[in-house]
Amino acid sequence: MPKLAPPTAEELVDKIISIDPTFKKSHLGPLMGLETNSTFRLFNDGPDKASLTVRHLMFIIDAIVTDYPHEWPVIREIIETEAASRLVTPPSTVWARGGWTKYIRAERTVSAASSQSTAKPLKRRSVEPKTE
């Protein structure tokens, strides 16, 4: 696979803001499938320190908003659809609050505690003390 050269965080955010003035710098983390506080790392460390997945996503989103800026609302909708599937309520709050994993953890905890186990209790064998 050829090495992709993703844009810097600043370049990508500026391009998106030119299309959607409501987009904020802090929204870059959720756009990349990360938490909102990950935006800081993307800006400070650059895409070279990000995971391969994030670098590819930055490259792809940059290509889409460059060549097809009218498709930006579709990308935004995809992020909010994913947020809804992860129980972020309302889904539009993912941009400000993040929450890709915290709601899933809470749901798993609740469902695990409420499920009925089919395991049978262990029977303890009585052990007779040894007599010599």
Contacts within 8 Å (CB) and 24+ apart, 7-13: 7/47, 7/58, 7/59, 7/62, 8/46, 8/47, 9/39, 9/42, 9/43, 9/46, 9/47, 9/58, 10/43, 11/62, 12/58, 12/61, 12/62, 12/65
The answer on pLDDT for 45 being more than 70 is yes
Q: How far apart are CA 25 and CA 14, in angstroms?
A: 9
Residue 119 in domain? no
Residue 115 in domain? no
Residue 15 in domain? yes
Residue 131 in domain? no
Which comes out higher in pLDDT, residue 26 or 130?
A: 26
Residue 76 in domain? yes
Structural domain of 22: 9-100
- Count of structural domains within the chain: 1
Residue 21 in domain? yes
Amino acid of residue 21: P
pTM to 2 decimal places = 0.71
Confidence of residue 32 (pLDDT cuts 50, 70, 90): very high
Confidence of residue 109 (pLDDT cuts 50, 70, 90): very low
Q: What percent of the chain has pLDDT over 70?
A: 73
Residue 130 in domain? no
The answer on pLDDT for 7 being more than 90 is yes
Residue 107 in domain? no
**Contact (CB, 8 A) for 100 and 86:** yes
